[in-house]
Amino acid sequence: MMFGNLCPVCGQEIGSDRRLGETVVCSCGYTDERARARAERACENRSIIGFMVVCASLVVLFAHAVNWGGHMWSIPVLKVQQMTGTISAQGLERVIQACFDQGKWDCVQETHAALYKKTSNPAVLSRLADFRLRLNRADDALLTYDWYVRAGGRDSEALYRYADLLEKSGEKAQALEFYAKSVAGSGERLPVRAMSGLLRLFMQEGRYQEAADHLKAFHESAGNAKDYFASEAEAIQENLKRGKRVANR
């Protein structure tokens, strides 16, 4: 047992050069075994702690790899940028792709919202609405398409999907409006689906002359347009003739 800095065997003072960490060695050969044991235990404890830290790090790394797959190295940087508000639009697109690849649907939707906030691009809302449709979240998709239209979105296909949702929700007047806008904005593409919806609603409401006018414009829009809606054209003409006969009585 040590008494201060004096060796219990020879009584000589033990200098600092005789102290190796927790181990004390006197010039006469005496060694403080308990000090050595404490040093050894401390070394063992540090080794155990180090091993546990390494194991915990490996577990965390494995969980992160499972969670993010091939995006495991890029996503931490992107997430930090997103939290600090320094992420670019391209960075948000990469986050969306990573979330989509890993099936993180809430993350996909939240990041689309962040991307729209950053870019004010209506096309982002259209993509989000389409994604919500794929998740069978029709009410959310309908609301998102409404945001899209209010933000100035005019894509013909997006307007068709909006009109289709409006029709299914019973909003037939609005559905007619957006079927018509989809047809008008279709450009060189034949808006067959939007035209079908437009004719269907006109005929359901007995507005056969309007249906006939729109169908005539459609048939005149392109050479191959006349191949479509033959049965609808026949039904429209029959109802128009019937209406005239009733009016003449």
pLDDT digits (tens, 9 = 90+) for 37-83: 666 677 778 878 877 777 666 666 656 566 787 787 889 999 899 99
CB atoms under 10 Å from CB of 241, counted, come to: 11
Residues 41, 16: Cα–Cα separation, whole Å: 22
Collapsing DSSP to helix, strand or coil, 7 comes out as coil
Q: Is the pLDDT of residue 228 over 70?
A: yes
Mean pLDDT within 161-190: 95
The pTM (predicted TM-score) of the whole model is: 0.74
Q: Fill in the DSSP letter of residue 225.
A: G
Give the chain's mean pLDDT: 86
Q: Is the pLDDT of residue 22 over 60?
A: no
pLDDT digits (tens, 9 = 90+) for 28-39: 756 666 655 666
- Residue 2 has a pLDDT of 41
State CA 205 to chain mean position distance: 40
Residues 201, 195: Cα–Cα separation, whole Å: 10
Residue 30 main-chain phi, psi, to 5 deg? -70, 140
pLDDT digits (tens, 9 = 90+) for 125-147: 999 999 999 999 999 999 999 99
The strand pair at 23-24 and 19-20 is best described as antiparallel
Q: Fill in the DSSP letter of residue 23.
A: E
- Residue 30 has a pLDDT of 62
